[in-house]
Amino acid sequence: MKIESKLLLEDLEKRTINVLDQAIQYKMLNLETLNWKENDKSWSILECLEHLNRYSDFYIPEISSRINDSKNTFSPSFKSGLLGNYFAESMLPKANFKKISTFKSMNPLGSELDLECLNKFAEDQKNLLDILEKCKSVDLNKVKTSISISKLIKLKLGDTLRVLIFHNQRHMAQAKRTLEMSKVGSTVK
């Protein structure tokens, strides 16, 4: 995939704003709804957000550090790497998308969560918007970041941002489905 860097950053910003707006809407829900689960193996809305918080705990400092250390100036175009594009595309929420198992350390199943989880998620999205702003002065091709599954694998910054933001969208779509099911589940009881 090849795209103008400016267009990529604008797209990622819009996606992040949409995710943040959805999270802000969740602040109007009660804790019972936020913690509702279809079954013992499914995630609640807050568990979806906690999963994303755990990834943000790795990626926000990693990306920030790489941007701050960068000597590269902005490049007008971004060309995705083979592995980075594969990871990013696999994260996009799609109809009938394939479930992907997560690492045990990233699995929030059974966690006791409250509104602090939601507040942290919203704050992380604001930090991500700040990062996207800073990316307007670095080369999305030359700045490389480690990924959470292995510090040995490095992706182009543009790909890392795509993976992170698409992953956020994927689990926000899951949270939305959970909210819709909770409404059906509460009327069936």
Express each pLDDT in 92-145 by its tens digit: 887 566 666 676 766 677 788 999 999 999 999 999 999 999 999 999 999 999
Residue 111: the pLDDT is 82
Specify the CATH number for the domain of residue 123. 1.20.120
Single-letter amino acid, residue 128? L
Neighbours of 92 (CB within 10 A): 15
H helix count then E strand count, the chain: 6, 4
Determine, yes or no, domain membership for 146: yes
Determine, yes or no, domain membership for 152: yes
Residue 113: the pLDDT is 92
Determine, yes or no, domain membership for 102: yes
Q: For residue 47, what are its two tokens? A: 């568990």
Determine, yes or no, domain membership for 134: yes
Neighbours of 71 (CB within 10 A): 8
> Rounded distance, CA 181 to CA 177, Å?
6
Q: Tens-of-pLDDT digits for all 189 residues of the chain?
A: 999 999 999 999 999 999 999 999 999 999 999 999 999 999 999 999 999 999 999 999 999 999 999 987 889 999 999 999 999 999 988 756 666 667 676 667 778 899 999 999 999 999 999 999 999 999 999 999 999 887 888 999 999 999 999 999 999 999 999 999 988 655 444
Single-letter amino acid, residue 17? I
Q: Where are the beta strands (DSSP E) in 115-163?
A: 144-147, 150-156
pTM: 0.91
Single-letter amino acid, residue 95? A
Determine, yes or no, domain membership for 189: no
Q: How many domains does the chain have?
A: 1
Domain extent, residue 53, equals 2-184
